[in-house]
Amino acid sequence: MISKNIVVLGGGIGGIVAANQLRNELPSSINITLIERYEIHKFAASYLWLMVNLRKAEKITAPLSRLVHKDVKIIYEEIKQIDIAGKRIQTENNEISYDYLIVALGTELEKKYLNDNQYGIHNFYTYEGAQRLRDELAKIQSGEIIIAIESLPYKCPGAPYEAAMLISDYITKRGLKNKININLYTPEPHPLPVAGPELGKSVSDLLENKGIKFYPAHQLKEIKPEEKTITFNSDLTKTYNLLIVIPKHTPPAVIRNSGLTDESGWIPVDRNSLETQFENVYAIGDVNSISIPGRWQPDKPMKLPKAGVFAHSQALTVSEIINSKIFGKEIKSSFCGDGFCMLEAGEDLAGFAYGDFFAAPHPDVKIKKLGKAWHLGKVLFERWWLAPSGFRKSFYKILIQLGAKSLNIPIKL
């Protein structure tokens, strides 16, 4: 009987999917351990709805144990060291050896603009931040709302644009559309540059139609909370009543000290297998770095976006590869680079962006017309994700494949 130890680091989307998929497919002699410091899982994709009071905070959380297969061992501790040479993980109170390692630790947020004492600066990238922002949005009666992207990369490339449109919808429902201006500043040349100018133009048009002022190629330089001003590298200074910052995303500290990263700080992987430079060590989701064809600026090669859909599909790929390796089977699985996103636009409407991010000479991404069906699809996914693991199983893969086929969308997972 084969006996192996598989360790998964991180209880986000990638980690949960990988642990469940492996447990569903492998015999009980294969030990699967998931290490995650938080016992309560918070569904980050719903923070935008929480921000505009379309969700109650407690409705977008669930005990991690409910989402993970009952025969996966969960260790609720902080990871202190990843010892690649010794093939072991050191936590607060345990040392765990592995034969196969899946790193799915996501990103951390730089705390520079997350300080509670900096009045008027908010974010929706944390559970607590989205709730504080919800309370501030409920109070504002007039003035300037500024959304500013601090740096690249950041999780979910569409999120700042969705946030602007959802806030616009929220303000309109409060009867304040003519009293509050919404401004979005980004260092990017246009929205979602990794998806190409055509999709960027579509999103720009959506913003314009909602009266949202969009300012590309504006790099945040300085914020003075006491004066409520924000300055950009062009030396443009604007005054705000409410400021929303998309904070700098960084690799977790334990990753930076692991020997897995390159000069960027992220973990480079083979784009097909998601394997790192070390055999049987894989990195999936936001923590990895995958080069893709094209450049969004002459000196900036493009990287695969950091998004939950990629963490999900990469988890499935790695699970199948590990399964094949354990049993000496031919490895047929490969991460294909397909991705999609339901882009929330307010008014219970969403667009559907999809395409091949490995396409040459640049990603081939298209967007479907706004519709309520795309919004409903996002709602259904939220409910499904927070359901017990036994209910979910591999239904997601079947649902997406059937939906993609019926809509003639070439998405493969």
pLDDT of residue 402: 47
DSSP secondary-structure letter at 275?
B
The amino acid that residue 86 corresponds to is G
For the chain, give the mean pLDDT. Answer: 92
Distance CA 190, CA 201 (A): 8
pLDDT of residue 390: 67
| pLDDT: which is higher, 404 or 53 | 53
Tens-digit pLDDT profile for residues 348-390: 999 999 999 999 888 889 888 899 999 999 999 999 999 887 6
Long-range contacts of 221-229 (CB under 8 A, 24+ apart): 223/113, 223/118, 223/121, 225/118, 225/119, 225/120, 225/121, 228/120
The pLDDT of residue 166 is above 90:
yes
CA geometry: angle at 340 spanning 335 and 341, to 5°? Answer: 140
Confidence band (pLDDT; 50, 70, 90) for 258?
Answer: very high
Q: Collapsing DSSP states into helix, strand and coil, what is residue 11?
A: coil
Q: What percent of the chain has pLDDT over 90?
A: 82
> Which DSSP string corresponds to 194-231?
GG-HHHHHHHHHHHHHTT-EEE-S--EEEEETTTTEEE
Residue 245 and residue 148 in contact, taking contact as beta carbons nearer than 8 Å: yes
Q: Is 268 exposed, middle or buried (0-12, 13-18, 19+ CB in 10 A)?
A: middle
pLDDT of residue 392: 62
C-alpha pair distances (Å), 267 with each of 101, 233, 283, 408: 14, 30, 7, 34
pLDDT of residue 174: 96
Output the six-digit token pair for 382: 């939220």
Give, rounded to a whole angstrom, the gap between the first and last alpha carbons of the chain. 31
State the maximum Cα–Cα separation within the chain, in Å, rounded to a whole number.
70
Tens-digit pLDDT profile for residues 91-112: 999 999 999 999 999 999 998 8
Q: Which domains does the chain have, with CATH numbers?
A: 4-107+251-336 (3.50.50.60), 109-249 (3.50.50.60)
Q: Is 240 exposed, middle or buried (0-12, 13-18, 19+ CB in 10 A)?
A: buried
Residue 133 and residue 122 in contact, taking contact as beta carbons nearer than 8 Å: yes
Residue 274 and residue 280 in contact, taking contact as beta carbons nearer than 8 Å: no
Considering only 120-124, 261-265, 300-304, which range has the smallest mean pLDDT? 300-304
Q: Collapsing DSSP states into helix, strand and coil, what is residue 63?
A: strand
pLDDT of residue 18: 98
pLDDT of residue 95: 97
pLDDT of residue 396: 52
Residue 210 and residue 346 in contact, taking contact as beta carbons nearer than 8 Å: yes
pLDDT of residue 412: 45
Residue 365 and residue 349 in contact, taking contact as beta carbons nearer than 8 Å: no
Non-local (6+) Cβ contacts of 328 within 8 A are none
Q: Collapsing DSSP states into helix, strand and coil, what is residue 107?
A: coil
Residue 289 and residue 267 in contact, taking contact as beta carbons nearer than 8 Å: yes
| pLDDT: which is higher, 272 or 195 | 272
Tens-digit pLDDT profile for residues 288-341: 999 998 876 666 778 999 999 999 999 999 999 999 999 999 999 999 999 999
Tens-digit pLDDT profile for residues 50-67: 999 999 999 999 999 999
The pLDDT of residue 401 is above 90:
no
Considering only 2-11, 143-152, 287-296, which range has the smallest mean pLDDT? 287-296
Q: pTM for the whole thing?
A: 0.93
C-alpha pair distances (Å), 199 with each of 65, 158, 267, 376: 39, 11, 28, 22
pLDDT of residue 197: 84
Q: What percent of the chain has pLDDT over 70?
A: 92
Residue 292 and residue 335 in contact, taking contact as beta carbons nearer than 8 Å: no
Residue 321 and residue 333 in contact, taking contact as beta carbons nearer than 8 Å: yes
The pLDDT of residue 413 is above 50:
no
